[in-house]
Structure 1
Amino acid sequence: MRIAISQMRRLRSVALAFLAVASVSTSHAQDQASKIVVGLPAGGSFDTVARIVADKLAAETGHPVLVENRPGAQTRIAIQVVKAAPADGNTLLVAPGVAMFLYPHLFRQLGYAPFSDLTPVAQLVSWDLVLAVASDSPIRTFADFLAWSRANPGKAFYGTSGAGSLQHFLGVSLARRTGIALEHVGFKGGKEAVTALIGGHINAIVMDAGEVVPMVQSGKIRTLAIFGPQRERSLPGTPTIRELGLGDLETSGWAGLYAPAKTPPAVVGRLNAAVNKILASPQVGQKLVELGMKPAGGTAQQLDSLAQGELGKWRDIVASSKFVLD
């Protein structure tokens, strides 16, 4: 009997020790599980933004934050990954704004509900969009562009980095607002569109400012309008669309940081505070400027309101284009 009791005590001690080790290991694993999921390949601007944030967030939280690239299906794969993750703040998503406000109008089968499957944390960055022509084009101003387009119906082709992009529908919106006829040509990226413009294959492009500034500085491209709220520092002579009398077309690209739905408000608050501190760093700001972006920040509620407002703004524009993706 004494032997049995002694054995039971030893077994119980071993079991308790095992549970303690398992508990520590599980806690350690959770500490190591933090990651930021990006729906685009490594090496691009979004990936770089995610890695800047991950590196600084690791310093703020005291444990590693990894970047996981899950490209494909225009960020929808990455969103599915984060949507299914535990709502503990350890899995985050860097998402372009279009995934929140444009894709719901664009895809027949979206696969997620942007305002119920994800929790906004903070806006990370914004960037300007521009209308540009080749430097050897007879079109020298925005007024020239409108006049030339009206005089050449069916011949005014504008290129973008892809069909279904924000730039695509900004061109649709511009045509609708001004009464001109524009034909869209979607390329497989900004570089291809710029090459086609310089080669004379298209008449204009609607593009991220960061992608055209080097070509403007080298004298190959001329910008006619900036769709953002302020003049671009790298393009001081280019008027904003509001200055040109079309303030309702004011548009910027942006990206935000998101967590799974039902992430506790306290967790979101801590992440938001850390991200705002990161974005306020001059060093981080300089890195983002070099990418053609601007640090944003703000509250989670401001990010949600931004996306909700854009959702309503683009509904009719996408519908009028009759462009749908599967």
Structure 2
Amino acid sequence: MQNRRTALAMLAGTTLGLGAAARAATSYPSRPLRWVVPYPAGGGSDFMARVVGQPLSVLAGQGVVVDNKPGGNGAIAVADVLRAAPDGHTMINVDNGTLVFNPVLYRKLGYAPDKDLRLVSLLARAPMILVVGPNHPARDVKEFLAQARSQPGALNFGSAGAGTPQHMAMEMLMHQAGLRMTHIPYKGSAPALGDLAGGQIPALMSDYAAAGGFLQSGKLRALAIADSKRHPRLPDVPTFTELGLPGVEATALVGVAVRANTPDAAVDALQKYIAQALADPSVRSRYTDVGLEPVGNTPQAFTQLIAAENARWQPLIRSLGITLD
């Protein structure tokens, strides 16, 4: 009889525990959401979070607080998120650097994307664009390549920072086109683009969100798009594929992740809220106005996309011997 009472008590405890877990899952979110951004306020990743955060708070019925944690190529922000509870109330903007490049660029990274993070949804794509200053002698990619080949190692290129999509895009171009140029990393796109417009550096890769103002004003010129299709904001600028370099495709991918072991119900709910927010015409307009392609896909589709990016980029980075520690 004692054993039977003990078994019944254990069953009741288990049932209560499962009931509590189910109630917690269905009540998500039960408190304000914290959205960690690995870059300073005012940048592209910050912009994406804040624009979606407004309708997300309405859809979820909770406030959304954007928390900027720059540094370490995203590693500082990831470490912060890994200290939070795995319940979906703390999320992080992740990109190619966080998920694809860092694991091969750093020998001691401090986190493993596939083990420590769970992908929720891709916010947007931002194709890279080869950009030069207004006084650059090259009028097209053919002339740019000829000049770079004639002076191996003598020409510089800027980037938003070592290991960023902007840096890796130029590495891919150099690899595919047989170029040798010297990398000058900056702390963000703004100072790099400012120096490019001022003639301190000859070229860089950038997304339209960062370079659009310079391009519209004529302070910079776009030579080619590193994507499978032309950019809607630059319909007259050809892709590298059109120019005979089909392997040069590099797109910044920015999405949302949470801690691994976050319950399925919370992940599914968060993904639906994000997709609904991105479907809002005003949100889509704000994204497309700065050259971003809004997405809002499922966790499965986002995971498959990152797996394909890993297969494409990581062998290249290893073969080039690029490390950052």
Tell me the secondary structure at the aligned position of residue 202 of structure 1.
coil
Q: CA deviation at 1:310?
A: 1.2
In structure 1, what is the equivalent of residue 199 of structure 2? Answer: 200
Give the counterpart letter for 2:115 in structure 1.
Answer: S
Q: State the Cα deviation string for residues 59-99 of structure 1 (Å, max 9, x = none).
A: 11212222222222222122122223222221111122320
Partner residue in 2 for 1:173: 172
Secondary structure at the aligned position of 1:150 is classed as helix
Q: TM-score, normalised by structure 1?
A: 0.85
Is the alpha carbon distance of 1:40 and 1:142 closer, same or farther for their aligned partners in structure 2, counting shifts above 3 Å?
A: same
Name the % identity: 35
Query: Which secondary structure state, in structure 2, belongs to the residue aligned with residue 158 of structure 1?
Result: strand
Check whether the contact 1:101–1:314 (CA below 8 A) recurs between aligned residues.
yes
RMSD, matched Cα: 2.0
Could you list the per-position Cα deviations for residues 181-238 of structure 1 after superposition, in whole angstroms to 9, with x for gaps in the alignment? 2222212222322233233332211112222222222222221101123222221211
Structure-1 residue corresponding to 2:248: 249
Distance 1:203 1:246, change over 3 A: same
- Tell me, in whole angstroms, the C-alpha distance in 1 between the residues paired with 2:154 and 2:219: 22
Residues 157 and 183, structure 2, Cα contact 8 Å, conserved in 1: yes
Contact 2:34 2:91 in 1 (8 A): yes
Q: 1:298 aligns to what SS in structure 2? A: coil
Structure 1 residues 68 and 218: alpha-carbon distance in aligned structure 2, compared to 1, 3 A threshold: closer
Q: Which residue in 2 is equivalent to 1:52?
A: 51
| Contact 1:213-1:235 within 8 A present in 2 as well | no
Contact preservation (8 Å) 2:120, 2:256: yes
**Alignment partners' CA distance in 1, 2:97 and 2:255:** 10
Q: Compared with structure 1, are the counterparts of its residues 180 and 77 closer, same or farther at alpha carbon in structure 2 (3 Å cutoff)?
A: closer
- Say which SS state the counterpart of residue 247 (structure 2) adopts: helix
Task: Provide, for residues 121-148 of structure 1, a one-character-per-residue CA deviation record: whole Å limited to 9, x for no partner.
Answer: 1001111211122222220111111112
Supply the AA of the counterpart residue of 2:221: R
How far apart, CA to CA, are the structure 1 residues paired with 2:150 and 2:291? 34
- 2:34 and 2:90 in contact (8 A); partners too: yes
Write out aligned runs for 1:1-326 (5 A): 31-326=30-325
Structure 2 gaps of 5+ residues are: 1-26
**1:88 to 1:198, Cα distance in 2 relative to 1, 3 A:** closer
Distance 1:268 1:258 in 2: 9
More displaced, 90-99 or 284-293?
A: 284-293
Which of the pair has more CA radius of gyration? 1
Deviation of 1:47 (Å): 1.9
Aligned pair count reads 299
Greater mean alpha carbon deviation, residues 208-217 or residues 135-144: 208-217
- Specify the SS of the correspondent of 1:36: strand
2:225 touches 2:239 (CA, 8 Å); kept in 1? yes
> How far off is 1:280 after superposition?
0.9
Given that 1:32 and 1:65 are in contact with CA atoms closer than 8 Å, whether structure 2 keeps it comes out as: no
1:241 shift after superposition: 1.6
- For the Cα contact (< 8 Å) 1:120–1:300, is it kept in 2? yes
Q: 1:198 to 1:93 in 2, by over 3 A?
A: closer
Distance, in Å, in 2 between the alignment partners of 1:36 and 1:138 is: 44
Q: 1:52, CA displacement in angstroms?
A: 2.3
Provide the rounded CA distance (Å) in 1 between the counterparts of 2:319 and 2:92. 31
1:64 partner amino acid: G
Letter in structure 2 aligned against 1:310: E
Distance 1:136 1:42, change over 3 A: closer
Cα pair distance change 1:42/1:236, threshold 3 Å:
same
Moved more, 72-81 or 296-305: 72-81
SS at match of 1:153: coil
State the match for 1:17 in structure 2: none
| Partners of 2:94 and 2:185 in 1: CA distance | 22
The answer (yes or no) to whether the contact 1:97–1:256 under 8 Å persists in 2 is: no
TM-score, L = length of structure 2 = 0.85
In the TM superposition, residue 33 of structure 1 has moved relative to its aligned partner by: 4.1
* Equivalent-residue separation in structure 2 for 1:43 and 1:137 (angstroms): 29
Contact preservation (8 Å) 2:131, 2:203: yes
The answer to whether the 8 Å contact 1:52/1:284 transfers is yes
